[in-house]
Amino acid sequence: MSSLPDQTKSLLAPQSSSDEEEKEELLELPKSKYISYFSHQFWVLNEYLRFRICYYNLIFCSVIVLFSNDHKLWLPLTYVFIVLDIFYGWVILILLTAPIRKKYVLGVDGQLELMLLVIDNKPGLDLEKWDSITLQINSHLFNTHRWMNTDFIFDGKQCLQLFEYLIKPNKFIQLYVDPALINLNLQIEEARRCHYESLEIN
């Protein structure tokens, strides 16, 4: 009896421990990887070039202030740049961490995936269930190339806050004729209903 081809053997062979560890890493919440929520937000923002330019410029100006000898020229200009940089940085920080930015990253498919998970799981305010949903959404964003890793949403609490933002009534989405958006709107309404029902039960 002929032996199985090598390619078939490799497919049938059990996965190595390293492969299993990689899967476990993909299923780990960011709140378990980062020191705090703020450190997580810093690394999320660090993926945006505008944010990196902002804090690199702030560091550069600070070095000039500390070590410059030409006080008449460099220091006044540098202080002005620092003030503008801090203001600009706060604007970027607010814009890039706002729920509407997360909605943009999710896209239609990500929002639909979140609604379907809520409909299936009915998590209510159970943060453990929301943690589980967060893992799946983060994996979805990574697998669909919407985000560069599985660390987009920090934990179940942040996912719940994002969901509550997404299910707010939106009159504009009802004006679209795109089938994908029509389907998304229907699932949002169903997810909203399931969420409110689960809150009443609890």
For residue 97, what are the CA distances in angstroms to 3, 45, 101, 103, 109? 57, 8, 7, 11, 20
Residues 177 and 118 in one domain: yes
Q: How do residues 32-70 score in pLDDT, each as one tens digit?
A: 888 887 777 777 777 776 667 777 777 777 777 777 666
Residues 70 and 123 in one domain: no
Which of 97, 114, 138 is a domain's end point? 97
The answer to whether the predicted template modeling score (pTM) of the entire model surpasses 0.75 is: no
| CB 192 within 8 Å of CB 167 | yes
Q: How do residues 144-200 score in pLDDT, each as one tens digit?
A: 999 988 889 999 999 999 999 999 876 555 556 678 888 888 999 999 999 999 887
User: CA 157, 162, 167 angle in degrees (round to 5)?
Assistant: 125
Considering only CA atoms, which of 128, 29, 123 is closest in space to residue 114?
Answer: 123
Residues 112 and 65 in one domain: no
Confidence of residue 7 (pLDDT cuts 50, 70, 90): very low
Considering only CA atoms, which of 149, 111, 134 is closest in space to residue 31?
Answer: 134
DSSP-assigned states of every residue in 22-82: HHHHHTS-HHHHSSSHHHHHHHHHTTSHHHHHHHHHHHHHHHHHHH-S-TTTHHHHHHHHH
Residues 6+ apart with CB under 8 A from 69: none
Residues 92 and 110 in one domain: no
Residues 6+ apart with CB under 8 A from 39: none
Residues 107 and 157 in one domain: yes
Residues 115 and 193 in one domain: yes
Quote the domain boundaries for residue 113. 100-201
